Amino acid sequence: MNENFLQTPIDYLKGVGPNRADLLKKELGIFTFQDLLHLFPNRYLDRTKYYKIAQLQQTNAEVQIVGTITHIKTVEQKRGKRLVATFRDDTGTMELVWFRGHKWIKENLKLNTPYVVFGKTNYYNGVYSMPHPEMELLAKHEKGVRSAMQPIYPSTEKLNNSGITNRVIIKLQQQLFTEAHTSFSETLSQPLLETLKLLPKKEALINIHFPQNQEKLARSQYRLKFEELFYIQLQLIRKNVLHKTKIKGYPFTKVGEYFTTFYEQYLPFKLTNAQKRVIKEIRNDLGSNAQMNRLLQGDVGSGKTIVAFMSILIALDNGFQACLMAPTEILSVQHYNNLLELCNKLKISIKLLTGSTKTLDRKNIHASLENGELQVLVGTHALLEDKVKFNNLGLAVIDEQHRFGVAQRSKLWHKNTHPPHILIMSATPIPRTLAMSVYGDLDISVIDELPPGRKDIKTVHRFDSNRLKVFRFLKDEISKGRQVYIVYPLINESEALDYKDLMDGYESIEREFPKPNYQISIVHGQMKAADKEFEMDRFVRGETQIMVATTVIEVGVNVPNASVMVIESAERFGLSQLHQLRGRVGRGASQSYCILMTSHKLSQDAKTRLQTMTRTSDGFEIAEVDLKLRGPGDIMGTQQSGVLNLQIADIVKDTEILKIARSYAMQVLKSDPNLIQPENLPIKKAYNQLTKFKNIWNYIS
């Protein structure tokens, strides 16, 4: 098909006009012919079957019946009147009912003439009725080319109220196909079509909108889903490959003094095989000429920080500086304290830079960073400020990827002539499918085993009515010298309500755990940063046994002596949040527990979440369940919502197609990186079109 034809503004399609065009743009984002072509139906009504009146059942399915109207009457009712027609076939009678548009309907209905009626039926007092049926004369119906399966398109109330009904959209699609009778150009290569037995593009498009039968529909959907995922993967993989060929990194050729001394003398524990494998992957990247762009995934407590630190040592061994950036002040302070000890042993200069660093200290940091004396800088977004200039930044480690956007990553790159190597750490396990799509341009390393000696955290679900037993258990644990977290949900809509929940909870805990026997810390979002730090610090030092908090503690807080995590109103948390919170305990040698408290009223999804938590502690398995429950948009947090603005594929349900699409995209690019072989010309053409009108970042918000 002539691509330019598809870019024609929707206003120019016969039957649209300026008013309808405005509505289609506002309500469904349809600006061009192509947008309309890619408005795929949500579902289909099978119009191949005709029912007899005697076969009708009390369901809300839509049915199609052939019969004649024998009688029409107007019936008065409480408000206004309704028009009722008696409709019969050779097995019985039913009623057709209209509540509006009487005059026009009455004038246009033909008595004793065969009609096909279609709609939902109601059953009342032994009689079936069909309100506002779709009707067509049988003679016309039999001539029609319309498909046996009627498409139902996405719509909005506004469209329906403005007369742009499903029927109108079907008519517009038919009009579009009529005008586009020139052949649609094929977008995939012949070898792909043959190997995967895919329908040609034109046939797939016709059958997605007007399927001849179920089988054709299934094949069309497969073909279009494959194509959509294939091009996303093609763009991501090309971006990765181009990145490696174009963006030169500093090759770190030697593993020197710092790395070796640390490995031989100061490594606090034996590395797991997974950690060794990941360090090897990182060393290969750092040693090549390309810039490293790697995502390091690992569950809470799997030892990502030590891997990051060893990567930093390689940068220092090669005469470069490194930085570690974290999303919150609490986290960056914690990273700093952890690394400070290790750096002191190795005589490495390290500093912390956050929003609350004092002006004088800032000046000193800026100066020693520029002249190269300062080797490692840890901090928050403050590292991105223009004033922060490195002498030669060789490696940037970023903690908790999805809190930093693509734009922020590129800010780090521009701190140098060459972009530094980038290592992103994420403790939020991202399901493979999502990782392939959202971070398809990054190389991914996974630490998939926990360090030896880490005991599994026992997770139980308890109802509010068991609260006294839970309190008794907490007292037992505290008497053994352990500490306890009690977390309340924070639901942003109502800060006031959350605060009340937290305060009510805090009071009842104070009554149960009175001073001086027990000391309690409290941390919530409305406190000043300094007060939070103070309370956290008391808990870290063991001066308080109980930490009552909203979810501020979910990321990175490390108190090995805390062995119990109580999550109040656990049904109000998402799975990944529950998993993150649970990861705050189980960091010491003693057995740890996670207690999920809920009321008796639970939705089906909440039950699934609680069962998943009590069944498994594998973050990746949990992430898969979470993805199925919530869909991809929510998993990445609000910044990434609508992660993949897909038109037909569904990243959760179409995992298998995604894997196939990715492997074929890799094969194609491996054998023909620039898509210049004759067989790949359709792919190249479609790829260029796509990147011209819709690049990958439209898919990945």
Q: What does the pLDDT look like over 118-133, one tens digit per residue?
A: 988 888 888 999 999 9
Question: Residue range 592-606: average pLDDT?
Answer: 92
Residue with tokens 């200039």: 389
Q: What is the pLDDT of residue 438?
A: 64
Q: What is the pLDDT of residue 145?
A: 52
Q: What is the pLDDT of residue 377?
A: 96
DSSP state of 493: G
Q: Could you give the percent of the chain with pLDDT greater than 70?
A: 88
The pTM assigned to this predicted structure is 0.62
Q: What is the pLDDT of residue 554?
A: 45
Structure tokens at 658: 């995604």
State yes or no: pLDDT of 632 exceeds 60: no
CA-closest candidate to residue 412, choices 426, 402, 424, 400: 424
Q: What is the mean pLDDT of the chain?
A: 85
Instruction: Please tell me the distance from the alpha carbon of residue 665 to that of residue 686, in angstroms, as a whole number.
Output: 14
Amino acid at 24: L
- Outline where 357-466 has alpha helix (H): 359-370, 406-413, 432-438
Q: What is the pLDDT of residue 551?
A: 62
Question: Residue range 9-14: average pLDDT?
Answer: 93
Amino acid at 471: F
Kindly report which listed range (315-324, 325-334, 514-523, 605-614) carries the lowest average pLDDT score.
Answer: 325-334
As a three-state string, the secondary structure of 445-461 is: EEECCCCCCCCCCEEEE
CA distances from 543 to 381, 588, 590, 684 (A): 31, 17, 19, 65
Contacts of 432 (CB under 8 A, 6+ apart): 620
CB 599, CB 568: distance < 8 Å: no
Instruction: Please tell me the distance from the alpha carbon of residue 339 to that of residue 310, in angstroms, as a whole number.
Output: 11
Question: Residue range 346-352: average pLDDT?
Answer: 96
State yes or no: pLDDT of 404 exceeds 60: no
Span 290-305, pLDDT tens digits = 889 898 988 777 888 8
Residue 634 confidence class, pLDDT cut points 50, 70, 90: very low
Q: What is the pLDDT of residue 1?
A: 53
* Domains defined along the chain, listed by start: 3-45+156-179 (no CATH), 48-146 (2.40.50.140), 184-246+661-701 (no CATH), 257-447 (3.40.50.300), 458-616 (3.40.50.300)
State yes or no: pLDDT of 20 exceeds 90: yes
